[in-house]
């Protein structure tokens, strides 16, 4: 598996994975906006196929995971772990040691995934999402070494 920067030619694959992964996928315009504004945007490639992606920001002194998803057929193969580890390393290389994200209360798989990766639940937010679902803010503190 290769982890590399997103290219515009990956857009269809990212959209496909996004639509199979989220009930509220980002519109393509927002994805392109994030890319054009310099968000971190990595994809995982197996053979010729893009099988996962992660998007992240560095803002106000902390890293922020905006989205991560793996093609359903390739889940539970550590691809999400490797994508997230690569993003955390890039964030750390910018001298940033705190990383945050939000996750839906109902997204038990993602919550377990983030806990396994070392994130801690730091805040519970009622009706955080526009459809009224509660959200959980999680944080990862990167160690210095
Ligand atoms: C969350 C997601 C990115 C994880 O990617 P993945 O490549 O399948 O995860 P990994 O194989 O790296 O799993 C790492 C750990 O996460 C946890 N985990 C992953 N999938 C899990 C599942 N279905 N049930 C329980 N725990 C799970 C496990 O602890 C696992 O470690 P283990 O295999 O040693 O038990 C993937 O499930 C996904 O794309 N989900 C849909 C999109 C999404 O919800 N994104 C997050 C939005 S906030």
* pLDDT interval class at 143 (50, 70, 90): confident
The average pLDDT across 118-133 equals 96
The predicted-structure confidence for 56-110, as pLDDT tens digits, reads as follows 999 989 999 999 999 999 999 999 999 999 999 999 999 999 999 999 999 999 9
Structure-token pair, residue 131: 């459809």
Q: Is the CB of 119 under 6 A from ligand 1?
A: no
Q: Which of 14-18, 29-33, 58-62, 79-83 has the lowest mean pLDDT?
A: 58-62
pTM score: 0.97
Write the residue with the smallest CA distance to atom 44 of ligand 1: 110
Q: State residue 28's pLDDT score.
A: 96
Annotated domain spans of the chain: 2-141
State the pLDDT confidence band at 128, using cuts at 50, 70 and 90: very high
Spell out where the chain has E strands: 2-5, 40-46, 49-59, 62-70, 98-104, 120-125, 135-141
Given a cut of 80, whether residue 127 has pLDDT beyond it is: yes
Q: Which residue has the tokens 């805040």?
A: 123
- Indicate if the pLDDT at residue 144 is higher than 70: no
**Percent of the chain whose pLDDT exceeds 70:** 99
Residue whose C-alpha is closest to residue 31's, from 22, 44, 21, 18: 18
Has residue 116 got a pLDDT over 70? yes
Instruction: Please list, in sequence order, all residues whose beta carbon lies within 8 angstroms of the beta carbon of residue 47, skipping any fewer than 6 positions away.
Output: none
Query: Would you say the CB of residue 77 lies under 6 angstroms from ligand 1?
Result: yes
Residue 142 pLDDT: 84
pLDDT of 145 above 60: no
Q: Decide whether any atom of ligand 1 lies within 6 Å of the 20 Cβ.
A: no
Q: In testing the pocket of ligand 1, which one of 23, 101, 109, 117 has its CB within 8 Å of the most ligand atoms?
A: 109
Output the residue whose Cα is nearest ligand 1's atom 40.
Answer: 69
Task: Reply yes or no on whether the pLDDT at 9 is more than 70.
Answer: yes
Q: Which of 13, 24, 75 to mutate to test the pocket of ligand 1 (most atoms within 8 A of CB)?
A: 75
Helix axes 79-93, 108-116, angle to 10 degrees: 60
CB–CB of 77/95 below 8 Å? no
Choose which CATH entry (3.30.420.40, 3.40.630.30, 3.30.420.270, 3.40.50.150) describes domain 2-141: 3.40.630.30
């Amino acid at each position: 598996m290769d982890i590399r920067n997103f290219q515009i030619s990956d857009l269809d694959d990212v959209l496909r994975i996004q639509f199979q992964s989220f009930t509220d996928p980002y519109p393509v315009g927002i994805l392109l906006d994030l890319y054009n504004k310099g968000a971190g945007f990595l994809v995982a490639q197996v053979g010729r196929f893009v099988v996962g992606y992660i998007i992240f920001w560095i803002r106000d002194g902390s890293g922020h995971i905006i989205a991560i998803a793996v093609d359903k057929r390739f889940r539970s193969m550590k691809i999400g772990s490797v994508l997230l580890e690569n993003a955390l390393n890039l964030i750390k290389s910018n001298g940033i040691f705190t990383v945050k994200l939000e996750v839906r209360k109902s997204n038990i798989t993602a919550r377990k995934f983030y806990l396994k990766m070392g994130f801690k639940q730091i805040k519970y937010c009622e009706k955080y999402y526009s459809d009224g679902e509660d959200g959980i803010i999680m944080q990862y503190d990167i160690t210095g070494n």
